[in-house]
Structure 1
Amino acid sequence: MASLPTPPTSKTAHSSRADALREALASRVVVADGAMGTMLQAQDPSLEDFENLEGCNEILNITRPDIVRTVHEEYFAVGVDCVETNTFGANFAALAEYDIPERNFELSESGARIAREVADEFAAKDGRQRWVLGSMGPGTKLPTLGHAPYVTLRDAYQQNAEGMLAGGADALLVETTQDLLQTKSAIIGARRAMDVAGISVPLICSVTVETTGTMLLGSEIGAALTALEPLGIDMIGLNCATGPAEMSEHLRYLARHSRVPISAMPNAGLPVLGKNGAHYPLSASELADAQETFVREYGLSLV
């Protein structure tokens, strides 16, 4: 599905927002949103809403944009600076499992457009800039283990990023990465998309370090920094898998060695399994206290 024609001034406006985000990240702590999937599930979308592709949250960008809008609105209403697009699974690996890899651009563009519209509405109310982070998830294939060809993943990530830029994303967030080759495919795909669009936006990379102290395939945080920083990322950080306590050592390493700003988006502790399923044990105030400590000790720019 082709995107709508781009208004003549949109590229200038896009660049202006991206520059403002870079300035904010360099001068203060920028606050992003939290979970997307659980917020969508809480609204109990039907199987029809998913077009019988249950669990493919990105489909809701087309069938139930009202649900997706509500999530963004709830986060902006409590004061966040930026929201992530509902595009975590808009990649070759995830969409291929639903047999719809050809819908990558469509779902990416629509996810970014919904977030852009909500961000602009809130900015218009009070004059405070709001930003959209284009979420690029890891998918389910690990190229290092031969699950999928690197080139296939890279090209699909380029489509993903092109769609989000067309929809108005102010930054691209390569997140929850567990395989450095997959991470590289997403970063290079994002760079190629920016070249095609003629737009430069911040490129953020967030890796996932397990409770074992390494990424899923055994890479330590130092190896991740060494491999990813030369690719021209604007920020590096950690997200998912653990709570703040387990991230502290790795953030300390990044604070000492990274030449780019740092981010952290931890879970609210390690999940605890109860009779009603898993839940995260940290309260909002406990998570906030941990993030405040990170900001003070490690100089985080994005939380």
Structure 2
Amino acid sequence: MKIQNELKKRIFILDGAMGTEIKRNIQLKDKQLNEELNIINPEIIKKIHREYIKVGADIIESNTFNSNEMALQNSKFKGKSYELSFEGVLLAKEAAKEYKNIYVAASIGPTNKSLFLEKNDCTFDVKKNEFIKDIKGQIAGVIDADPDLILLETVYDSLNLEIMLEVIKYNFNKKNKQIPIIVSLTVGENGKIFSGESFDEIIEKVDTEDIIGYGINCSYGSEKLINLIEQIALNNRKLMIVYPNAGLPDSNGNYKETPEIFSKYMEKIMRNNKVNIVGGCCGTTSEYIKILSNSSKNYLPKDFEI
């Protein structure tokens, strides 16, 4: 309950992209996952967490976005999704403890499999069970490490989301735990996720008392989200998180929005009490978060139900 009360007082700052900062610090081997560094080179991950905290992040995300067995299939860490996930959250907590009032959100990405595409297949139940098997280590690992939040992010498939929430609920009941959950979608320009649902439809489909907020991340940059956030704020009674990409990448994978441009668009999103947490996704760095943190002080947070 503590973080929800604090989020009613001011806009909180989430960190920026992990992958971007990893590339600035170290050269990964071919096909090596960012999450492997949780065990191979933990000091690099803690260094990145510290950099984001120093420029104003109130919440740091664990380096666990892809620590599921699907992503680890060709890794030497295959079968070790629990360990990578557990250690990833612990690293973030260790960095957070060096400062005051820093929260840790356990990042869980959407996976590279879509149950929505499989739903009419005669072997759907088999594929659903395989999906559960592939994500259960990641979910158990982050829960056992006791983060302040669980962030289900870049959600593009409603069936994936529903199954993940079921596995989380199973772990909560089994371990007698309750950790606040935030669900963040990635939407197209039509305002819908890949499986066809709008923001409101997702809330209607999955909302429980464990979910304290909803939001949008990744997508196509902050500029085109401005009007969509206005609409969503009308019907979302819970807290709101927004952390888009630094625009769309060019053919070389470079993101076009500078920190100043990114912050300018995000200021329009922060106006009129529409959001509680803002940050950056793909292409954003500590410089983006620094400018965003400074500009956020001019705005008040969205009111929401607890």
Q: What one-letter code is carried by the residue in structure 1 that aligns with 2:47?
A: T
Give the CA deviation at 1:61.
0.4
Percent sequence identity over aligned pairs: 27
TM-score (norm 2): 0.81
The residue that corresponds to 1:54 in the other structure is 31
Closer, same or farther: CA 263–144 of 1 in aligned 2, 3 Å: same
Query: Residue 238 of structure 1 contacts residue 265 of structure 1 at CA under 8 Å; is this kept in 2?
Result: yes
Give the whole-Å Cα distance in 2 for the aligned partners of 1:188 and 1:74: 35
- 3-state secondary structure, aligned to 1:278: coil
Give 1:75-154 correspondences, 5 Å limit. Answer: 75-98=52-75, 100-123=77-100, 129-146=101-118, 149-154=127-132
Give the whole-Å Cα distance in 1 for the aligned partners of 2:23 and 2:88: 16
Closer, same or farther: CA 269–298 of 1 in aligned 2, 3 Å: farther
Give the whole-Å Cα distance in 2 for the aligned partners of 1:193 and 1:245: 38
Alignment deviations for residues 217-259 of structure 1 (CA, whole Å, 9 cap, x no partner):
3323232222232474211100002111222233223211112
1:271 to 225, 249, 257: 249
Closer, same or farther: CA 144–115 of 1 in aligned 2, 3 Å: same
The residue that corresponds to 2:227 in the other structure is 249
Closer, same or farther: CA 152–234 of 1 in aligned 2, 3 Å: farther
Q: Which runs of 5+ in 2 are unaligned?
A: 119-123, 279-306
Query: Residue 261 of structure 1 contacts residue 300 of structure 1 at CA under 8 Å; is this kept in 2?
Result: yes
The residue that corresponds to 1:285 in the other structure is 260
Query: Residue 175 of structure 1 contacts residue 207 of structure 1 at CA under 8 Å; is this kept in 2?
Result: yes
Query: Residue 200 of structure 2 contacts residue 236 of structure 2 at CA under 8 Å; is this kept in 1?
Result: no
Q: What one-letter code is carried by the residue in structure 2 that aligns with 1:228?
A: V
- 3-state secondary structure, aligned to 1:243: coil
Q: What one-letter code is carried by the residue in structure 1 that aligns with 2:277?
A: L
- 3-state secondary structure, aligned to 1:288: helix
Give the CA deviation at 1:37.
0.8
The residue that corresponds to 1:64 in the other structure is 41
Closer, same or farther: CA 45–168 of 1 in aligned 2, 3 Å: farther
Alignment deviations for residues 31-73 of structure 1 (CA, whole Å, 9 cap, x no partner):
11000012112223353xxxxx723111110000011111101
Give the CA deviation at 1:212.
4.7
Query: Residue 230 of structure 2 contacts residue 274 of structure 2 at CA under 8 Å; is this kept in 1?
Result: no
Closer, same or farther: CA 298–120 of 1 in aligned 2, 3 Å: same
Query: Residue 238 of structure 1 contacts residue 264 of structure 1 at CA under 8 Å; is this kept in 2?
Result: yes
The residue that corresponds to 2:214 in the other structure is 236
Relative contact order, CA 8 A, sep 6+: which one is greater? 2
1:302 to 277, 280, 284: 277
Give the CA deviation at 1:260.
1.3
